[in-house]
Structure 1
Amino acid sequence: MTTIDTTRRWPVISFRIVATGVATLVLLQAALAGSFLSGNFESLAAHARNGGMTTAALLLQTAVAALAWRMGSGAVQLMVASLAQTLVAAVLIPLGHHRILTVHVPLAVLLAIGVLIVAARSWRSESSEIR
């Protein structure tokens, strides 16, 4: 591996790590919602805290995706998807606080699907580039 390969590769590795972390937070979010619906009312506070952490992690994912794209080792689609997911997560917070669950729940399910697709795509690389 040459120095150029290493220079182009670290943003991809960083994106994979962050995207995997975001996917983990999103799956935890679903588990916390399910725990709350099962009667564990303390899970609602944890669900709210995890929602904030998920939004912050998505913001970090967007920044890393933008860096990877600008350095030529990432796809612009992953940056756009990450930005859209960050905005959706930010919208989910007030929807949840105001108990507008008819919008919050389906939007959260769509966000989870999108996050898992982005995470899976980050690991499906060709010649060590996310394209």
Structure 2
Amino acid sequence: MTDQDLTNRNKALVRSFYEGGTDSEKKTYGEIFHPGFHVTAPNYFPWGGTSDLNEYLEDVLHQVTAVLDFERCSIVSLVGENDEIVIVIDIGLAGTEHFIRISEHWTIKDGKAINLWVAYFEPAELVKLLEKK
């Protein structure tokens, strides 16, 4: 497999997560995540810090999907090289007209996501929404 083929395969894997809208009934997460998966998000969010795969699937995703509207999600940019993929998305804030931009930095190992680092740009509206909950 060439470096370009590897990059394209890994970009398709990351894209598939968003195309499924984080709905586990639409796909089996085992197809996407490596058993050693970890995700890190800013500590100022309830789901912040570093979580392993079980914590992510059982707790973090439920918190995130309660405030982020994946029906109003669009990919701004998807770039990568080999096993490092960066996706930038605009996503709606649930129950509001607001959007937030998120940059997610994925590391792929053996064809599955093993690490995800998430950065939120200008999260003030998201923080306000969380304060209301």
What is the TM-score when the length of structure 2 is the normalising length? 0.30
> Greater share of strand residues, 1 or 2?
2
What is the TM-score when the length of structure 1 is the normalising length? 0.30
> Greater share of helix residues, 1 or 2?
1
